[in-house]
Amino acid sequence: MTYHDRTGTAIHPGARLYAREVQEGKLSRREFLVRSTALGVSASAAYGLIGLNAPVAAQETPVSGGTLRMAMETRGQKDPRTWDWSELANFGRGWLEYLVEYNADGSLRGMLLESWEANDDATQYTLKVRPGVTWNNGDAFTSADVAHNITRWCDSTVEGNSMAARMGTLVDPDTGVARDGAIEIVDDMTVVLTLTEPDITIIVGMADYPAAVVHQSYDDTDPTLNPIGTGPYLPEQNDVGIRQVLVRNEDHTWWGTEVYGGPYLDRIVYIDYGTDPAAVLAGAESGEIDATYQTTGDFVDIFNGLGWVQSEAVTASTVCIRFNQDSEPYTDVRVRNAIQLAVDNNVVLELGYNDLGVVAENHHVCPIHPEYAELPPLEVDPAAAEAALDEAGHGDTEFELISVDDAWQSSSCDAVAAQMRDAGMTVRRTVLPGSTFWNDWTKYPFSATEWNMRPLGVQVLNLAYRSGVAWNETAFANAEFDALLSQANSIADADERRVIMADIQRIMQDEGVVIQPYWRSLYRHTTANVHGAEKHPTFEHHHYKWWMDA
């Protein structure tokens, strides 16, 4: 049964349950907003369920025009469903849009979808297309476009398509593509999704950065070559490793102006300074940029000292120092556990990330997620680690720990390597430039990878640790883990999910899957005349919100 509020707005019964859990202190406000809006409840109605009014934006009048210059690594474009870095998406967001948008308060709101509604057990979702949207080539945007993109996302036979893991309850396990009847076009403005089992993550997955919506004529190549999209900008320059430029598309009437306002900027310029934050600082001091992509380590205080405006996002973003279980000697759980036993994650947070975060527990589930289960503290025992490694027959093995040359990731790996050496292990550190490192990031035997926050606790587990998925860089394959994760995906009640999550987290620790040392706070700095470009918890760039004082 679906309830309605006093304005007639549909209120999913699950949202009423979540609101009660907020009042009982069992669920955070952010997670409540994520989960309620994922079921189709509007942000304003969700706030009302917990007795609050939706936040009102600051009463400033945006100024149209201007060019915003941001420091950001620029990467070569490819099929969006295979995007594996937010920087790829943040350039593409100029003209490629999303069905839904994840906002900093934790709520989801419709973009190319006007609304959506889940049935009571979240096995069927009805998607309503936003009327009046056109592609920049003049074609109308309809339910056929929505169905086409979801079908593309479901195709697990496409190498690197991580969206297939997000759409798993629509995929036929025998064929690896969308099931017959899973995606139904009802009319020009309506699509119905029928899932194999309850899944509270599917709408949230449509907000993740590889879920950019492409035209039906798109041929899976570099989308800048024929930039048909629904967004307000177009790519003007795409010099990878140097500069990428978006320019406002004056020949296209953007649907969002009447709905959300904007776009305000004439141009957005991304300038690539590489991975050295000192180079970004030099660019700021010489007036070459107006904003950082992110500010890390000591540079947070340095930019504050320049008088730049700081924004902060408390997140579940992290770095994982992971073992590839297809590579020797990391096929042996005793080796993985021994290395974990040598490493104090508190030390890695202090030395690697200047204590600008919260210590983590080697299972990639964050305390800000409601299903997080508190487990006993991790044991750190260098002497026992050395003895365990000897017992496994690898006391004399040299371990090579590989990282990208990004300062905070490299420093974090240095802290891990130093503690391994303190435990009597032989460790070689290899630091690679990004242009080399990211070519084979899923294949290294022992290396570090940055992972973005996802709004729901199970989402990264689905993406990174389920057997055989595109982003499973650990080669972890555990049938019990997979079954428990599927069970967790289907449970709405946070307390019930937490029971399952305790077992999932414990398996991650016992199997020695990763050294996952801390959760990061994220920072951005801008000049005082930049507005609307605060740091987003999942690194998203909502260009239409950005503006600058004259």
CB 73 within 8 A of CB 294: no
Asked whether residue 4 carries a pLDDT value surpassing 50, the answer given is no
**Hey, which bits of 266-308 come out as E strands?**
267-271, 291-292
Q: Is the pLDDT of residue 62 over 70?
A: yes
Residue 36 has pLDDT above 90, yes or no: no
Q: For 418, what's the count of Cα atoms within 13 Å in the CB-facing half-sphere?
A: 12
Q: What is the pLDDT of residue 5?
A: 43
What is the Cα–Cα distance from 55 to 101, expressed in whole angstroms? 17
Which sign does the torsion angle of CA 444, 164, 77, 220 carry?
A: positive
> What distances in angstroms separate CA 377 from CA 182, 306, 341, 373, one per listed residue?
43, 40, 12, 12
Q: Is the predicted pLDDT of residue 57 greater than 70, yes or no?
A: no
Which has the closest alpha carbon to 361: 472, 501, 535, 467? 501
pTM over 0.85: yes
Quick one: average pLDDT of 500-518? 98
Distance of alpha carbon 441 from alpha carbon 469, whole angstroms = 15
pLDDT for residue 33: 79
Whole-angstrom Cα distance, residue 409 to residue 280? 17
- Kindly give, in sequence order, each residue whose CB lies less than 8 Å from that of residue 91, ignoring residues fewer than 6 positions away: 74, 77, 235, 238, 244, 246, 270
DSSP H or E run through 22: helix 13-23
Q: Say whether pLDDT at 22 is over 80.
A: no
Of 356 and 9, more confident: 356
pLDDT at 428: 98
Q: Environment class of residue 542 by beta-carbon count within 10 Å: exposed (0-12), middle (13-18) or buried (19+)?
A: buried
Q: Which domains, ranges and CATH numbers included, belong to the chain?
A: 3-49 (no CATH), 74-211 (3.90.76.10), 314-521 (3.10.105.10)
Lookup: tokens for 462: 């689905």
3-state secondary structure of 387: helix
Q: What is the pLDDT of residues 274-309, one digit of tens each?
A: 988 999 999 999 999 999 999 998 999 999 999 999
Compare 470 and 341 and report the one with higher pLDDT.
Answer: 341
Look at the alpha carbons of 26, 32, 35, 39 in this order and tell me if their dihedral is positive or negative. Answer: positive
pLDDT bucket at 109, cuts 50 / 70 / 90: very high
Alpha helices of 115-212 — where are they, by DSSP H? 143-154, 163-166, 202-205
The tens digit of pLDDT for each residue in 219-248 reads 999 999 999 999 999 999 999 999 999 999
- Give the CA distances from residue 441 to residues 383, 437, 445, 470, in Å, rounded to whole numbers and listed in that order: 32, 6, 10, 12
Res. 3: pLDDT tops 60: no
| Rounded distance between C-alpha atoms, residue 227 and residue 2, angstroms | 41
More confident residue, 451 or 52: 451
Residue 387 and residue 396: Cα distance in Å, rounded?
12
Q: What is the pLDDT of residues 355-386, one digit of tens each?
A: 999 999 999 999 988 789 999 999 999 999 99
In this model, does residue 399 exceed pLDDT 70? Answer: yes
Contact 291, 530 (CB under 8 A): yes
Whole-number pLDDT of residue 408: 94
pLDDT of residue 6: 40
Other residues' Cβ atoms within 10 Å of the Cβ of residue 360: 25
Q: For the sheet containing 113-118, what is the strand order? A: 113-118, 124-129, 190-194, 183-187
Tens of pLDDT, residue by residue over 334-363, are 999 999 999 999 999 999 999 999 999 999
469-484 average pLDDT score: 96
DSSP secondary structure letter of residue 209: G
